[in-house]
Structure 1
Amino acid sequence: MESGNSTAEDSCPSVGGLRHAGLFGQPSFNFLDVWQHPTYNWHIVGWLACLLFLVITWSVALTLVIRHLRNYYDPQIQRHKLRIILYPPVYATLAWASYLRFDYATTILFFATLFEAFAVYNLYTCLQAYLAPYREEAQGRKEALSTKVLFLFKVNLKSKWGMHFRIIIDILVYQFPIWAIIDALVSLITQSRGLYCESSFSFRGAHVYLVIINFTSLSIILTALFTYLAVFSDQWKAGDIHAHGMFWCVKGPIMAIFYLGELLLSGLVYADVIKGTDGTHSSDHLPWTADEVKSGIYVIVICVTMCIAMLLMLRYFNVDRRMARASPDDNVGHYQQLGGQLTPNKLSPWMAFVDAYLIYIPEFLRNVLCCGVDSFRLARKRIELRARKKRAGGLADAGEHMLATKESYQDSPGYPMSPNYPTNPPPSTYYPSYPQH
């Protein structure tokens, strides 16, 4: 067996094009030979294993989608759940397609990255929808909070319902899906120009830089979401909201795919642990490079991870029992008020489909733009506060602090009760907060 690694520095830049060299898409699929010589047809065994996990994932996903469409009582929350439910099967299907055509893997996984970004966005907006009633109840109220996040660092907030904390979390969360889309586009462009260089850790290629930025972006959003979950832990408990379970259904696969599928497998290829073959132990006698072997293992990791996440969604993304119909003939909607914005009557399956999927992209763009507008407002507000503090500090140095108390003003020389105070003082000595004498 010979190693098929290609991590030399002179392998980057490589030949440009969306299709990169490789024989992974060309081996024969002789299913009858698998039962007689399974060790000579590992690519078929892996393909069948991925297909099995894919069938399970799609079966569970379609079951949940149909349940939501038939019991669509809470559009503010259920639209996000319906979008997240399709994330595991679609991502796994695209990964499985890249298993069949490794030469187009970068192009195929571009669309998988888009679904991943949208899933993260909908996870956060779903949690925001759950918090909406509590936020309206606390409108204008300052509630200080001090809590520990993952027992590692302490967070002190002047008001957990304030604009400052909300916009900061919005920025830290939305940077991940926005960067994921940019990352996918950069991967396609550099791949077409031969500058992606996924098979090497050369700093002359874009792949190593994208991995570093992805690691940073993932760390930022994890910190933000863990903080978000910790700050509103009382609300999750009060509303019986499975926020942590929903979080792991979405972020768990992303973490497993990145840390295990990308970092670990790439490191094993670089360390010559994962090797290529010379074709002597293959039924079609085709050699396999280490990157092609790694790609097959990578897809298996994705399919297994997404299947597990989909099974967890049966618990955390199912239709709430309190929103389900009392009977098959119940079209009025006998449900228990959950504190959210429930519709008086359930929407029809078609209207639910329109609300959940067809208005998705405009809503995503609008919310991202609104986040930018809110960020601008927050920055302007902070600038005004700093300027106000600076002016107040200058007045304090001059002995004319605008926020001076009445008692301190009375004790000051020249106060009207003093016998030496002039009968008609000049206007410059007046203080706006007190009557003129």
Structure 2
Amino acid sequence: MGHVCPSDNKDITDQSSFWDSGNINWDPHRIGWAIAGGCSLLTVIFTTISVLQHCRNYRVPNEQRQIIRILYMPPVYAIISFFSYRFFRDYTYYELIEVAYEAVTISAFLLLLIEYVAATAAGHNAETAIERKNKRPLPFPLCFWRYRPTKAYFMYTLKWSVLQYVIFRPLISIIGIVCQHFNVLCSSASFSPFFANVYLEAVDFVSISVALYGLIVFYALTSEELKGKRPLAKFLAIKLIVMATFYQSFVFSALEGRVIKASLYWTETNIADGLTALTICIEMVFFSLFMWWAYPPSEYKVKGAPATSIWRPLWDSINYTDFVIEIIGSFRFFVDYVRGKPHAHGNRIAGAPGAPAKLDFGEAFGVSGAYSKPIDRDVGGESALVNNGRMRASYDEDIRLAPYEAPRYRQEASEDTSYSSPTREHQVRR
């Protein structure tokens, strides 16, 4: 006998409309509908103001494009939660779409931290930055395992540990939507081995755990460089949204059949899902304000400087070329690592046979090019961020998070190999 997932919806539906005989039919469901819509609208307004302020002061594109992506999180959650409340019979579909954006924000946060760390090399020799990172233990619970940041594979592994989530989370959502369509997902039976939900949740748990651990490793490694950037506040602005949505969904589900009772048109699951969606809409108002504070546009304002166009920042924020470059670059490196290529093993130290030249701190994190000087607000009318006299370009103009490329080698008379680069030649001359 096959296992059948019980329906989350009643067979009969409410035939009345929001406007009933010229008057609003103020039953509890419609009151919640109005609150969810009003809160979603407030969230959109607050986020729009914050985003437009960044767009009008778009001085550091590589940082601000990631910030704008992160700022989108509250309105994305609020709008989708409103629709999941309004069209509650399709709640599962909306929920699967909603959580997929979490992967975007976490990946954007990593790339933002990389930009912050790279900027600390301004004004001094960036080649020594990696050298001061000594061998150290991994954070809890893998503190028994020590790692060396100068290893060739380390930075690619760290970036991949986070960016893999931007692949797996949308893929999990797509598979979940298909399973829901064929009634084999059964999210109400979370731990049943006869339905797909338990397996998708397991994969998601592993993927998000690896991504968050990668962020923790990165922060522990670069905490000195990130001072003054409030990385914890910025991270909490993201993670608290995820935690709030997860735990309140768990609480409302636990109340089904105990405190939450079915009504004429709504099952216990419908009501629990509706309460979850409603609370998300309300919370996103406060989270949009929190993100406005955690990612202040004032950091990029320059007195006397003209406002920048809003169209390029908006395009940059939805153009995910940088994600693709990072993912493909890391994948190519690991292919070379498996194939035993010399440059993919050992330390990334100049002079080692078969090893590329020693990379500076930014290059080790996938950031190429000269570092930018910090904003000088005392110089009126000048560009806010200068990169060797030039304003730092966005990815479309000058891809700064460069993809991984296998180095070229030249055969010496002694059959030793060495990697030729401007950095290496500079060291030889010196």
Q: How many angstroms apart in 1 are the aligned matches of 2:84 and 2:90?
A: 7
Q: How many angstroms apart in 2 are the aligned matches of 1:254 and 1:93?
A: 16
What's the CA shift for 1:51? 2.4
Q: Judge conservation of contact 1:25–1:100 (CA < 8 Å) in 2.
A: no
Equivalent of 1:203 in 187, 193, 210: 193
User: Which residue in the other structure is 1:349 paired with?
Assistant: 310
User: Which residue in the other structure is 1:282 paired with?
Assistant: none
Q: Does 1:12 align with 2:4?
A: yes
> Which has more radius of gyration?
1
User: Which residue in the other structure is 1:74 paired with?
Assistant: 60
Q: How many angstroms apart in 2 are the aligned matches of 1:46 and 1:154?
A: 50
Q: Judge conservation of contact 2:81–2:94 (CA < 8 Å) in 1.
A: yes
Q: Does 1:325 align with 2:310?
A: no
Q: Does 1:236 align with 2:247?
A: no
Aligned residue type for 1:255: M
Matches within 5 A, 1:383-422: none
Q: How many angstroms apart in 1 are the aligned matches of 2:341 and 2:10?
A: 55
What's the CA shift for 1:152? 8.6
Unaligned ranges ≥5, structure 1: 1-8, 280-285, 332-345, 387-430
Q: Does 1:368 align with 2:327?
A: yes
Instruction: Specify which structure has the higher proportion of helix.
Output: 1
Matches within 5 A, 1:35-54: 41-54=27-40
Q: Judge conservation of contact 1:23–1:288 (CA < 8 Å) in 2.
A: no
Q: Judge conservation of contact 1:114–1:181 (CA < 8 Å) in 2.
A: yes
Q: Judge conservation of contact 1:236–1:243 (CA < 8 Å) in 2.
A: yes
Aligned pair in 2 of structure 1 residues 375, 242: CA closer, same or farther (>3 Å)? farther
Q: How many angstroms apart in 2 are the aligned matches of 1:432 and 1:215?
A: 49
Q: Judge conservation of contact 1:276–1:287 (CA < 8 Å) in 2.
A: no
User: Which residue in the other structure is 1:266 paired with?
Assistant: 253
Query: Which deviations, in whole Å up to 9, do the C-alpha atoms of 1:58-100 show, x marking residues without a partner?
Result: 1210111110111111101011111111121022101110111
Equivalent of 2:162 in 157, 162, 173: 173
What's the CA shift for 1:172? 1.8
Equivalent of 1:212 in 182, 189, 202: 202
User: Which residue in the other structure is 2:242 paired with?
Assistant: 254
Q: How many angstroms apart in 2 are the aligned matches of 1:382 and 1:258?
A: 43
Q: How many angstroms apart in 2 are the aligned matches of 1:22 and 1:208?
A: 24
SS in 1 for 2:194: coil
User: Which residue in the other structure is 2:397 paired with?
Assistant: none
User: Which residue in the other structure is 1:402 paired with?
Assistant: none
Q: Judge conservation of contact 1:80–1:126 (CA < 8 Å) in 2.
A: yes
What's the CA shift for 1:372? 1.5
What's the CA shift for 1:53? 2.4
Q: Judge conservation of contact 1:147–1:230 (CA < 8 Å) in 2.
A: no
User: Which residue in the other structure is 1:221 paired with?
Assistant: 211
Aligned residue type for 1:168: T
Aligned residue type for 1:245: A
SS in 2 for 1:236: coil
Matches within 5 A, 1:252-331: 252-261=240-249, 263-269=250-256, 272-277=257-262, 279=263, 286-321=264-299, 323-327=300-304, 330-331=305-306
Q: How many angstroms apart in 1 are the aligned matches of 2:49 and 2:252?
A: 34
TM-score (norm 2): 0.69
What's the CA shift for 1:432? 11
SS in 2 for 1:199: coil
Query: Which deviations, in whole Å up to 9, do the C-alpha atoms of 1:330-357 show, x marking residues without a partner?
Result: 32xxxxxxxxxxxxxx742223333333
Aligned pair in 2 of structure 1 residues 11, 52: CA closer, same or farther (>3 Å)? farther
Aligned pair in 2 of structure 1 residues 148, 115: CA closer, same or farther (>3 Å)? closer
Q: Judge conservation of contact 2:160–2:327 (CA < 8 Å) in 1.
A: no
CA-atom RMSD in angstroms: 3.5
What's the CA shift for 1:134? 4.2
Matches within 5 A, 1:30-179: 41-134=27-120, 137-139=125-127, 141-142=130-131, 143-146=133-136, 149=139, 153=143, 156-159=146-149, 162-179=151-168
Query: Which deviations, in whole Å up to 9, do the C-alpha atoms of 1:252-279 show, x marking residues without a partner?
Result: 2112222432x4433443xx335332x4
Q: Judge conservation of contact 2:43–2:75 (CA < 8 Å) in 1.
A: yes
TM-score (norm 1): 0.68
What's the CA shift for 1:216? 2.6
Aligned residue type for 1:91: Y
Query: Which deviations, in whole Å up to 9, do the C-alpha atoms of 1:218-245 show, x marking residues without a partner?
Result: 32222222222122110111xx212111
User: Which residue in the other structure is 1:183 paired with?
Assistant: 172
Q: Judge conservation of contact 2:39–2:281 (CA < 8 Å) in 1.
A: yes
Query: Which deviations, in whole Å up to 9, do the C-alpha atoms of 1:87-145 show, x marking residues without a partner?
Result: 21022101110111122223333432332222222111111121223479544743205
Q: Judge conservation of contact 2:9–2:266 (CA < 8 Å) in 1.
A: no
Aligned pair in 2 of structure 1 residues 26, 374: CA closer, same or farther (>3 Å)? farther
SS in 1 for 2:325: helix
Q: Judge conservation of contact 2:19–2:25 (CA < 8 Å) in 1.
A: no
Q: Judge conservation of contact 1:67–1:319 (CA < 8 Å) in 2.
A: yes
Q: How many angstroms apart in 2 are the aligned matches of 1:122 and 1:276?
A: 41
Aligned pair in 2 of structure 1 residues 432, 351: CA closer, same or farther (>3 Å)? closer
Aligned residue type for 2:178: I
Q: How many angstroms apart in 2 are the aligned matches of 1:31 and 1:355?
A: 41
